[in-house]
Amino acid sequence: MDGSINQFPEQAARDNIDKLTAYDKTVDRNFQKWVFEKQAGALKFNEEQMNWLRMMKEHIATSFHIEVENLDYTPFDAHGGRGMMFALFGNGMNAMISEMNEALAV
């Protein structure tokens, strides 16, 4: 035996890591495009809102989507959780979450 059968799982693992990395970069690219398009009009995010949007982007990059309930857990809970998200985005909070899921997780 030349060991090639044993090498296949290692190659598959490397391929999977590349795919995960590519998805993360896709989410980053989609986030940048989404923020740019949102702020092209009258809407301008402040620094605190941008910090929340970045946390949400990171969650989407690792979990493929975000739900309102996720705001009750790490890392969001350390920053005020669901209540702070509502304070920052108001009645548009749920729409913002839905829009980010759609725009970023393509």
Q: What's the confidence (pLDDT) of residue 22?
A: 84
pTM for the complete prediction? 0.78
pLDDT at 88 over 90: yes
Average pLDDT over residues 85-95: 97
Range of the domain at 59: 4-104
User: How far out from the chain centre does Cα 60 lie?
Assistant: 3
How many structural domains does the chain have?
Answer: 1
Per-residue pLDDT tens digits for 37-69: 999 988 899 999 999 999 999 999 999 999 999
Separation CA 12–CA 23 (nearest Å):
17
